[in-house]
Amino acid sequence: MILTVTLNPAIDHTLALSEPLVDGDVARTGEYELNSGGKGINVSQYLRHLGVETTTTGLLGGMTGEFIRNELDEDGIAHDFVEVSERTRLNTTISAPDAEYKINHHGPTVDESVIDELIDLISDHDPEVVVIGGSLPPGLDVDAIDRLAEGGPWETVVDVGGESLAELDAQYSLCKPNEVELAAATGMPCETIAECREAAQALREQGFDRVVASLGAAGALYVSEDTVLFAESLDIDVADTVGAGDALLSGVLAALHTGESPERVLSYGVAVSARLVTTAGTVVDHLDDVPELADRVRIVEDPD
């Protein structure tokens, strides 16, 4: 079983305006979305569609936390969260004709003792793999991620910011940076595929068995001790790229879970990501066409 951990989840509140914002005026709209947000939650959603047993956990509090629980119930995603005293955050995106505005709350302030509670909770579920993703709430630092990784016999996968990646001390089975995070974690340039490859190899030596790097429209890299692969992106119509990295990681994890080859692991990740970006938002109805999409992904060994 794959258990995902989101330490600072959120409700993603999206408003669409038909007119530009004007200072002092009241803007009205009937177009809005409220969705559960967080890397771990997204990964569990996609894993469930891929037929992989998964449970999502993390920290939730207040009425916003209850909203997320209810949404997970409606979506059929197993969950088991630690309750915190402050409300789970609300992140707002305002899309206007002339601009897009993003306002993210920093999240509830929590005590380090919640990590002990999470370790006990994770142990009760006895997962094979634990996936930790997203930002940290106030009160926690990267040591919390290391503690979770070393808290039991599970393999740990991380999808966190570049600066956090650079500060981790535990051994991890996999990390999934994008090119910006790869550069931040290593201090190396990541403008070309060759540069990203060198940075991924350097990052792997810092305590990661595998590095899977998402490179946006260019594709993705897979780097392990004895394998370097590059997958080209599929030629598809893109609605938006929200959640593309989470989808890539989900496909990689699903293929690793069933013992696929590195080539299939990477192509599966790219296929899930491609399937997601053809629709707006982070929610998908199904991923039934992923195997067919994966067959279309072109893999290059030892890219220059």
User: Which tokens is 70 given?
Assistant: 């209810």
Q: Which residue has the tokens 């989840």?
A: 9
Q: Which residue has the tokens 């793999």?
A: 129
**Do 188 and 195 form a contact (C-beta atoms < 8 A)?**
yes
Residue 250, judged by CB atoms within 10 A of its CB (0-12, 13-18, 19+), counts as: buried
Active-site position among 73, 246, 285, 289:
246
**Closest listed residue to residue 210, CA positions, set 169, 158, 267:** 158
Q: Is 246 labeled as catalytic in the residue annotation? A: yes
**Do 211 and 177 form a contact (C-beta atoms < 8 A)?**
yes
What is the chain's length? 304
d(CA 36, CA 192): 34
Q: Which residues are catalytic?
A: 246
